[in-house]
């Protein structure tokens, strides 16, 4: 598609899981949106519903080597930076992917924003993995030091630093959102799609990576998108150059319970859970954070309350993913 329409918001990675839901919500709010995506993991069909609602434009572009990014930024005011390679485990075998898709892409985007005459506000999708193995649970935004244990977490933390530096050095206003495990329709990676695939292949047994003691927070995509808008609206009313919010649910759920929920939604009984034992003290993979529980008190002070807890988010996501298969 061309790039001729007048736009207000740019969403990088807007054809991906979280990005496409954000785009749909933006156009419902009356925003004109440009999506930039290289479609390596995102899909154009994820934007089908949004394209029928309002003003939407998809530009296929690889931000590792952008061509006319500055032209786009000159006619938008807000950037939602959600482009990333979502597979955390990939850092174990190919760390360069996360360096390029996270740090290099974010640097290229910020440099273009610095040179542009339009976009000076960025909402950056970071991750709970920047905290590493936090000693305080639930973990607040002011927890430190931040010691990531995965390449993915390390590069996302590096991106946060770049975003902050451009805010203070080049007049960019930046909102950083540290997302927990976001789940729902259109998600193509993570534990729920993985369990669905495994149980369809073998309905009697479910292989679970790790020793089974992993517990993490899960947030449904609808609650996540609502949090994006609520934090952004609040942020614009402040004089802050940079602010940080955790976005997650109020509790956590074990990987074993997720397996049970997925089996229940598949109407399977008597499924045997087989734990691999894992690596490095029972982790699912090297760099896997075993216990993650973000504090969302700062977000809740804005009036945000998730409609679903972790178990509810997992169950809703399983239902949505299975419904979309039929």
Q: Which of 16, 49, 61 is nearest to 188 (CA)?
A: 16
Q: What is the 3-state secondary structure (H, E, C) of the chain?
A: CCCCCCCCEEEECCCCHHHHHHHHHHHHCCCCEEEEECCCCCCHHHHHHHHCCCCEEEEECCCCCCCCHHHHHCCCCEEEECCCCCCHHHHHCCHHHHHHHHHHHHHHHHHHHHHCCCCCEEEEEEEHHHHECCCCCCECCCCCCCECCCHHHHHHHHHHHHHHHHHHHHCCEEEEEEECEEECCCCCCCHHHHHHHHHHHCCCEEEECCCCCCEECEEEHHHHHHHHHHHHHHHHCCCCCEEEEEECCCCCEEHHHHHHHHHHHCCCCCCEEEECCCECCCECCCCCCCEECECCHHHHCCCCCCCCCHHHHHHHHHHHHHHHHC
Q: Could you give the residue numbers annotated as active site?
A: 152
Among 18, 238, 217, 22, which residue's Cα sits nearest to residue 131?
Answer: 217
Is residue 232 a contact partner of residue 244, using CB atoms and an 8 Å limit? no
CA angle 163, 62, 154 (to 5 degrees): 40
């Amino acid at each position: 598609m061309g790039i001729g329409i007048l736009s207000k918001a740019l969403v990088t990675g807007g054809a991906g899981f979280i990005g496409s839901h954000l785009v749909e919500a933006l156009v419902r709010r009356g925003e004109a949106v440009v999506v930039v995506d290289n479609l390596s993991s995102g899909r154009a069909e994820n934007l089908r519903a949004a394209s029928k609602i309002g003003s939407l434009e998809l530009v296929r572009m690889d931000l590792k080597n952008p061509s006319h990014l500055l032209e786009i930024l000159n006619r938008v005011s807000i950037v939602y930076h959600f482009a990333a390679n979502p597979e955390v485990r990939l850092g174990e075998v190919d760390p360069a992917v996360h360096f390029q898709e996270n740090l290099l892409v974010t640097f290229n985007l910020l440099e273009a924003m610095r040179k542009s005459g339009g976009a000076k506000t960025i909402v950056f999708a970071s991750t709970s993995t920047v905290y590493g193995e936090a000693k305080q649970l639930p973990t607040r935004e002011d927890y430190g030091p931040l010691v990531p244990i995965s390449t993915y977490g390390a590069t996302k933390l590096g991106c946060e630093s770049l975003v902050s530096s451009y805010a203070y050095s080049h007049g960019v206003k930046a909102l950083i959102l540290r997302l927990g495990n976001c789940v729902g329709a259109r998600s193509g990676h993570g534990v729920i799609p993985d369990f669905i695939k495994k149980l369809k292949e073998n309905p009697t047994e479910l292989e679970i990576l790790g020793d089974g003691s992993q517990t993490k927070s899960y947030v449904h995509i609808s609650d996540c998108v609502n949090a994006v808008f609520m934090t952004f609206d609040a942020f614009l009313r402040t004089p802050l150059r940079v602010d940080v919010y955790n976005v997650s649910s109020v509790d956590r759920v074990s990987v074993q319970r997720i397996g049970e929920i997925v089996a229940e939604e598949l109407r399977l009984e008597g499924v045997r859970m087989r734990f691999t034992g894992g690596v490095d003290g029972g982790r699912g993979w090297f760099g896997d954070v075993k216990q993650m529980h973000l504090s969302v008190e700062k977000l809740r002070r804005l009036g945000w309350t998730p409609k679903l807890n972790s178990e509810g988010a997992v169950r809703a996501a399983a239902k949505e993913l299975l419904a979309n298969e039929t």
